Amino acid sequence: MEKSGDAPAPPVKKGRAAAERLADKQQEISVTEFFEKNKQILGFDSRTKSLLMGVKEAVDNALDACEETGILPDISVRLVKLGDEDFKVSIEDNGPGIVHRMMPNVFGRLLYGSRFHALRQSRGQQGIGISATIMYANLSTGLPAHVASRIEGEDEAAWEMDIAVDTKTNRPVVTDDKAFVWENKAHGTLIEYTTKGRYMTGKQSIFEYLKETAIVNPHACLVFHDPDGKVFTFERATETMPSKAKEIKPHPQGLEIGDLMRYAKDTAQKTLSSFLCNDFCRITPRIANEVSGMAKLKVEQDPQKLTRDQCQALTEALAQVKIMPPPTDCLSPIGDVLIKKGLMHILDGIRPEYYATPITRPPKAVNGNPFLVEAGIVYGGEIPPDQQVSVMRFANRVPLLYQQGADVITKAVADIDWRRYGLEQRGGKGVPFGPAIILVHVASTKVPFTSEGKEAIAALPEIQNEIELALKLCARNLKSHLNKKERKAKTHEKFEIVQQILPDLANKSAEQLHRPVPDLARTIIRIMNVVWVEPDTIKENSARKITYTVFNYTNKVRTFMLHAQLPPECSSPDLKKSTLFDSSNNEGKTQWLIKDLQPAKSVQIVFNLAGDLADTFDPDDVYVSGISPLVVMGAEALPGDWGIRGLAITEEDETVLENDTAAEAEEQQEEKEEEDFDREEKDDYC
Amino acid sequence: MEKSGDAPAPPVKKGRAAAERLADKQQEISVTEFFEKNKQILGFDSRTKSLLMGVKEAVDNALDACEETGILPDISVRLVKLGDEDFKVSIEDNGPGIVHRMMPNVFGRLLYGSRFHALRQSRGQQGIGISATIMYANLSTGLPAHVASRIEGEDEAAWEMDIAVDTKTNRPVVTDDKAFVWENKAHGTLIEYTTKGRYMTGKQSIFEYLKETAIVNPHACLVFHDPDGKVFTFERATETMPSKAKEIKPHPQGLEIGDLMRYAKDTAQKTLSSFLCNDFCRITPRIANEVSGMAKLKVEQDPQKLTRDQCQALTEALAQVKIMPPPTDCLSPIGDVLIKKGLMHILDGIRPEYYATPITRPPKAVNGNPFLVEAGIVYGGEIPPDQQVSVMRFANRVPLLYQQGADVITKAVADIDWRRYGLEQRGGKGVPFGPAIILVHVASTKVPFTSEGKEAIAALPEIQNEIELALKLCARNLKSHLNKKERKAKTHEKFEIVQQILPDLANKSAEQLHRPVPDLARTIIRIMNVVWVEPDTIKENSARKITYTVFNYTNKVRTFMLHAQLPPECSSPDLKKSTLFDSSNNEGKTQWLIKDLQPAKSVQIVFNLAGDLADTFDPDDVYVSGISPLVVMGAEALPGDWGIRGLAITEEDETVLENDTAAEAEEQQEEKEEEDFDREEKDDYC
């Protein structure tokens, strides 16, 4: 170190006086005061954002309560402008209502709630959001919030009161508590508060939040009255309630010794064996035995008397035995059909060209918390082709509008090389460019948000990995769509030549030569050498008429099956009337048998689809069996995991018509290998 | 809405039963449990990060305590690997120590601290960090932390104890509390804990954290014992303590009505006037009078009896009167000299070509919290030229290593068009590419972090604006350095031709023609037409010998002054011995008078610099007065805000030698206008 001789600051040592001075200032910090002074942590860092956050917290709570009690949610949000920066915000739902005695705590106390200790998927987890909204509204205007609630039942009164949060004590301050008659309201809750705020439209607006909420909650009906008095209604796209997430016990996977020690201390169980089997999920008496043995403990041991070292041994033993992954009914994924339906319902206006079949990944667990990832990609239409792809991020069915840069979803999107999948991307890194919208939904019993404002998901490698896998699967669909589109365009050209120009030529020549028109079948067959499946859709009111025309442009008689998965409960009875109809199951998987189709001949399959989900069916998703897919244009080989056995190929189709099909398969294999490699690398990192 | 007839899920209404079921689950959430279950919020989301976070919290606390008591910090960090993922971590400081009775709460209780309520700059603000470290260590290993502390004084014993956090009650659990003799330790604190962790090197490592801490805390000495037993020492670069940040009262600017109501309720003052004058800063009796009048209130009014509407009127009045900005001694900026010194001290190994003079912006306030921004840029040398510029982010002298994407500093860097300043940047957006390191320090009485983990600063527009201004000022220095470098390179070529080739030519020609060698002075002057200032540096041990050679290559006799700001207390007595020396002040601003320098003649100024800050002087930073800067090469015009009047220009230099100087000035003007525009635009947005 280069010490200069001059200007040393001699340490000012003040001994006890200095230390006591510091000690005098030490004091407890009320959690409410903490959040009040750190608004940005809860997402209330600007007037614009505060206005959104309040609506979000109230709507999320309403959706949770409806889901837990099996009610199809009807939620209305109303903003009234009172002054330059003053708004009255009201959110009303048709939820189960809140019992009178709980209203003060639910709305007037931070860190108070019903979902924190429950291991299952829910939007709210912290018991902070709605009381924080009321706290900040009160801070900015000095006014309490007004809440009203009614629970179902003829004898039940509706109750209303004014509530504020006492930030020193974190307790509700209630005024004007009284029963009232709520006309035409069987059950539900109303929250109304005045707050400073700034209203804006665009990407991070209340409108956008509600729109995206509607996409991933297609069972909800949301109505928005904006400050100009305009009314926007997002109707429900389905009346099917999401599957109810069940509460589970903690899973021993990744259990910290500290957790185990606490559970042991708090348990009501009398023996180690019953403690392990009853207080955790997926531990059987056999496993309890095995684990106790490994830890050199008796199964009769009193769990409350376990020492730290014994718990250490137990933790190590638990890490070594094989335990089933956590049950997954604690999660409530949206599902591929409803994601597509939701996207279609809301994005219809921009007429996308293609909705890649959304992917719902199987659940995994991280730190003992089950989670799963869903992804979808929408392509083309009026989506701007020269801008960065927009990424719609969701956590437990709640759209995330802020902190995109901090989110694991953005990180996963940016880490994928999208050039392989037909999108532009500089250097194979970063959010890609192109006419696409990417949707990712992370569902978990405990989403690891980066802050209480729940604006971004922390970049846990396990979650990032799942997102990348889901997106790559979706992207492969997109790529195959783009390939198919290109190939179809090419073959269509050929087809038109064959269908129109050749006969014209033949007619003309025959006429001029005064000879009979020759039979072109053999020529056409020689040129095409393909079985052609051509889908066609006609919209008739709410129903869709689907036609598949199948041409045999090969020189063999063909017998094969055509397969498609129709949306369940959508197909009309006439489906089975078709002579080609073979069978269908309750999943909607349907097959038609095309028997002895002669060269140069064609047949037609016609059926109607009606109902809620009719438009989620993509007629291009059609498969064949009993024939080499290499001679078929317009349908793919029946997937191996389809679940229903197709027709076996009885003849050898040696003609490899399309080299690019083989090339594509090879490419996919390469990709898969690369992904496996990526995954391994990441596992190393974790 | 398209309602299909089939499959409606009839609302499952369960009335009171459903609402009661939800109510039964409502309960209070302990803040400790909340943070335990949301580790990622405090930054403990992976084993790697947890290891860093603990060290960071302990070192930050040590630096704060030393600063508050005027002690030059000596801090040592030691990591010992106990097992695959088990580490023993010890952090020892020479701080003032903690009085015995406070030790349990300081280390064993979350949201307990001395700095939360104080309005002044400090690293710790929340009273969460160190107890959270102990909580997570305990969670992962089941072991308590061991702490020891001694306060100065012959009679003072050292105390040690084991501490854990009871996560249900948020209270310390103390064991083994006893006095002991701490050999060779006058005062200080030791924290030692065992934790699960993963040790890594690189960009987000403990080493990097300590290195960057050393840069912005040049008064601290940090020693790091890594798990391999290697020892790294970051010596202090200065013995000057940072200026002590003073505590201030809240400033009425941006005060929310809710805050005002609470202050009024809690005040000890008996009249409105004394309440306003004593409980806030910058309110004078005159302002108190004015404000009371505007709000139609009497100054004698009891502040505790103010109604909500009266507070509303007061808030509005306060927003309208002109009040001095908050005092700035609550902040402790690093200062341009020490930033440069710190950077040089640590980055010396990569031999940067240029350190742009760091910028310390004047303080502003946001939400009543004063803040200021400092920025520096380092360029060239061995910094990789083809990679993204690395951005070193600091908040209250603490390096931020994670969540770069979420940080206002990154946002500000990405929003500047760096192409103007000589760095590569695709599309004029995003973090630029080039051989540079950008440093930004945000200091505030309350840094708005995006989460309790204090990893990123929220993107408040006011802060982003200041960062951009600071960076643009720095970038302009960089640009001017790059321009100067280019110009110098060009002129140097010319210079060499004139100095060597011309005389050679003349000699050769004269010889061949048997004629006397001609006097080349006039020719050289005609070609050069410039006054040339050539700096030269020789390092001699810890001192530096600086030489300025001044050539007059114009056809006029020149009289002018040369100015440079030498680091204070660095110049040796021989400075004043030079016959050219004119004067210097206690800031180190020094001038030399060059009198009647004849055409084709030169003079030399020689002096030595020694001491701590000698190497922060850049000899290229030299200025002239009394001569048109347009005829000078190697020195700039004396800045208008230099504070010392230079020599007036007595003669008119009409020759505009360097069009690019004028062009550059114009360019800078344009830039300034653009910036002003940017700023206005942003103001609109705020």
Token readout for B278 is 């004593």
Residues B372, B229 share a domain: no
pLDDT at residue A59, rounded to an integer: 97
Kindly report the CATH number assigned to the domain that includes residue A261: 1.10.8.50
DSSP β-bridge partners for residue B590: B564, B584
Cα(A613)–Cα(A335) distance, integer angstroms: 13
Ranges of chain A with pLDDT below 70 = 1-14, 570-572, 650-686
Cβ atoms B106, B165 nearer than 8 A: no
DSSP β-bridge partners for residue B78: B90, B225
- The per-residue DSSP string of A183-240 comes to TT-SSEEEEEEEEE-----STTSHHHHHHHHHHH-TT-EEEEE-TTS-EEEE--S--P
Domain presence at residue B604? yes
Q: Choose from B256, B265, B409 for mutation: most chain A CBs within 10 A.
A: B256
Cα(A148)–Cα(A106) distance, integer angstroms: 12
Our CA-based measurement puts residue A247 at a distance from the nearest CA of chain B, in whole angstroms, of 12
Amino acid of residue B460: L
- The per-residue DSSP string of B564-602 comes to EEPPTT-B-GGGGGSTTEEEE-TT-EEEEEEEEEPTT-E
Cβ atoms B412, B2 nearer than 8 A: no
Mean predicted confidence (pLDDT) in B423-429: 83
Length of chain A, please?
686
Our CA-based measurement puts residue B553 at a distance from the nearest CA of chain A, in whole angstroms, of 41
Query: B2: helix, coil or strand?
Result: coil
Q: Is the dihedral of CA A257, A263, A266, A268 positive or negative?
A: negative
Task: Tell me the whole-structure pTM to 2 decimals.
Answer: 0.78
What count of Cα atoms within 13 Å lies in the side-chain half-sphere of residue B334?
A: 34
Mean predicted confidence (pLDDT) in B476-489: 84
Portion of chain B with pLDDT greater than 90, in percent: 47
Domain presence at residue B239? no
Final residue in a domain of this structure, among B302, B320, B338: B320
Kindly report the CATH number assigned to the domain that includes residue B431: 3.30.230.10
Cβ-based neighbours of B357, under 8 Å, separated by 6 or more: B336, B340, B474, B477, B618, B621
Cβ contact (<8 Å) for A5 and B611? yes
Query: How many domains is chain A built from?
Result: 4
How does pLDDT run across B296-340, given as a tens digit for each residue? 999 999 999 999 999 999 999 998 999 888 888 899 898 888 888
Final residue in a domain of this structure, among A451, A466, A481: A481
Cα(A116)–Cα(B29) distance, integer angstroms: 7
Q: Which domain holds residue B645?
A: 530-656
Residues A413, A469 share a domain: yes
Q: What is the DSSP letter of B249?
A: P
Cβ contact (<8 Å) for B99 and A16? yes
Q: Would you call A220 an interface residue with chain B, using a CB distance cutoff of 8 Å?
A: no
Angle at alpha carbon of residue B439, lines to B434 and B444, rounded to 5°: 155
B259: nearest Cα among A167, A669, A201? A167
H/E stretch holding A138 reads: helix A129-141
pLDDT at residue A663, rounded to an integer: 47
Token readout for A360 is 């719902």
Cβ contact (<8 Å) for B257 and A140? yes
Cβ-based neighbours of B399, under 8 Å, separated by 6 or more: B208, B209, B212, B213, B215, B216, B392, B393
Cα(A260)–Cα(A120) distance, integer angstroms: 20
Cα(A477)–Cα(B493) distance, integer angstroms: 62
Cα separations in angstroms, A460 against A39, A448, A457, B424, B598: 25, 8, 8, 32, 72
Closest residue to B116, CB basis, from A29, A140, A446: A29
Mean pLDDT of chain A: 86
* Residue A341 burial (CB count, 10 A): 25
Q: Choose from B40, B130, B570 for mutation: most chain A CBs within 10 A.
A: B40
Kindly report the CATH number assigned to the domain that includes residue B108: 3.30.565.10
Cα(B260)–Cα(B258) distance, integer angstroms: 5
Q: Choose from A1, A12, A29, A102 for mutation: most chain B CBs within 10 A.
A: A29
Token readout for A148 is 């009203």
Cα separations in angstroms, A223 against A66, A80, A90, A210, A287: 16, 14, 12, 9, 52
Q: Are strands A602-609 and B27-28 parallel, antiparallel or unpaired?
A: unpaired
Closest residue to B452, CB basis, from A37, A41, A68: A41
Chain position carrying tokens 């940072």: B242
**Interface A:B, Cβ pairs < 8 A:** 320
Chain B 241-260, residues with CB within 8 Å of chain A CB atoms:
241, 256-259
Chain A hits for B138, CB-CB cut-off 8 Å, are 258
What count of Cα atoms within 13 Å lies in the side-chain half-sphere of residue B3?
A: 8
Domain presence at residue A496? no
Q: Which of B99-103, B290-294, B503-507 has the lowest mean pLDDT?
A: B503-507
Q: Choose from B450, B544, B609, B685 for mutation: most chain A CBs within 10 A.
A: B450
Domain presence at residue B80? yes
Cβ-based neighbours of B514, under 8 Å, separated by 6 or more: none
DSSP β-bridge partners for residue B166: B171
Residues B283, B220 share a domain: no
pLDDT at residue A14, rounded to an integer: 67
Cβ contact (<8 Å) for A7 and B240? yes
Cα(B520)–Cα(B540) distance, integer angstroms: 37
Cβ contact (<8 Å) for B70 and A111? no
Closest residue to B28, CB basis, from A25, A111, A139: A111
B247: nearest Cα among B372, B365, B114, B119? B119
Residues B434, B297 share a domain: no
Domain presence at residue A463? yes
Q: Measure CA A427 to chain center.
A: 28
Query: Cα dihedral angle (B345, B350, B351, B354), rounded to 10 degrees?
Result: -90
Residues B534, B424 share a domain: no
How does pLDDT run across B494-523, given as a tens digit for each residue? 777 777 777 787 888 888 888 888 777 777
Closest residue to B19, CB basis, from A5, A99, A239: A99
Cβ atoms A533, A548 nearer than 8 A: yes
Q: Would you call B235 an interface residue with chain A, using a CB distance cutoff of 8 Å?
A: yes
Domain presence at residue B501? no
Cα(A171)–Cα(A149) distance, integer angstroms: 20
Kindly report the CATH number assigned to the domain that includes residue A616: 2.60.40.1170
* B675 or A504, which is more confident: A504
Instruction: List the alpha helices (DSSP H) in B280-370.
Output: 285-294, 308-320, 336-347
Residues B213, B288 share a domain: no
Q: Would you call B322 an interface residue with chain A, using a CB distance cutoff of 8 Å?
A: no
Mean predicted confidence (pLDDT) in B412-441: 91
Q: Would you call A117 an interface residue with chain B, using a CB distance cutoff of 8 Å?
A: yes
Cβ atoms A133, A160 nearer than 8 A: no
Chain A hits for B68, CB-CB cut-off 8 Å, are 18, 22
pLDDT band for position B527 (50/70/90)? Answer: confident
B133: nearest Cα among B147, B152, B153, B151? B147
pLDDT at residue B343, rounded to an integer: 86
Cα(B535)–Cα(B549) distance, integer angstroms: 6
Domain presence at residue A194? yes
- The per-residue DSSP string of B54-95 comes to HHHHHHHHHHHHHHHHT---EEEEEEEE-SSSEEEEEEEE-S
Mean predicted confidence (pLDDT) in B214-227: 95
Q: Would you call B184 an interface residue with chain A, using a CB distance cutoff of 8 Å?
A: no
pLDDT at residue A670, rounded to an integer: 53
pLDDT(B209) > 90: yes
Q: Would you call A424 an interface residue with chain B, using a CB distance cutoff of 8 Å?
A: no
* Residue B454 burial (CB count, 10 A): 27
Our CA-based measurement puts residue A220 at a distance from the nearest CA of chain B, in whole angstroms, of 12
Residues B133, B55 share a domain: yes
pLDDT at residue B678, rounded to an integer: 47
Residues A349, A290 share a domain: no
pLDDT at residue A314, rounded to an integer: 95
Q: Would you call B223 an interface residue with chain A, using a CB distance cutoff of 8 Å?
A: no
Nearest chain A alpha carbon to B109: A28
Q: Would you call B408 an interface residue with chain A, using a CB distance cutoff of 8 Å?
A: no
Cβ contact (<8 Å) for A9 and B426? no
Chain B hits for A120, CB-CB cut-off 8 Å, are none
Residues A310, A350 share a domain: no
Chain A hits for B187, CB-CB cut-off 8 Å, are 13, 15
Token readout for A508 is 């003309």
How does pLDDT run across B561-610, given as a tens digit for each residue? 999 988 877 666 778 888 889 888 888 889 999 999 998 889 999 888 88
Q: Would you call B114 an interface residue with chain A, using a CB distance cutoff of 8 Å?
A: yes
Residues A220, A302 share a domain: no
How does pLDDT run across B341-383, given as a tens digit for each residue? 888 878 877 888 888 888 999 888 887 788 999 999 999 988 9
Q: What is the DSSP letter of A253?
A: T
Q: Would you call A240 an interface residue with chain B, using a CB distance cutoff of 8 Å?
A: yes
B329: nearest Cα among B242, B214, B459? B242
Chain A hits for B242, CB-CB cut-off 8 Å, are none
Cα(A18)–Cα(A6) distance, integer angstroms: 27
Mean predicted confidence (pLDDT) in B40-60: 92
Residues B641, B535 share a domain: yes
pLDDT(B540) > 90: no
Token readout for A27 is 């004091």
Residues A220, A348 share a domain: no
Token readout for B639 is 């800045």
Chain A 147-176, residues with CB within 8 Å of chain B CB atoms:
151-153, 156, 167
Provide Rg for chain A, Cα atoms. Answer: 32
Token readout for B335 is 């200062």
Q: Would you call A229 an interface residue with chain B, using a CB distance cutoff of 8 Å?
A: no
Q: Would you call B673 an interface residue with chain A, using a CB distance cutoff of 8 Å?
A: no
Final residue in a domain of this structure, among B320, B340, B356: B320
* B396 or A341, which is more confident: B396
Domain presence at residue B574? yes
DSSP β-bridge partners for residue A366: A369
Cβ-based neighbours of B573, under 8 Å, separated by 6 or more: none
How does pLDDT run across B5-34, given as a tens digit for each residue? 344 444 444 678 778 877 888 788 888 888
DSSP β-bridge partners for residue A438: A377, A391
pLDDT at residue A364, rounded to an integer: 86
pLDDT at residue A683, rounded to an integer: 40
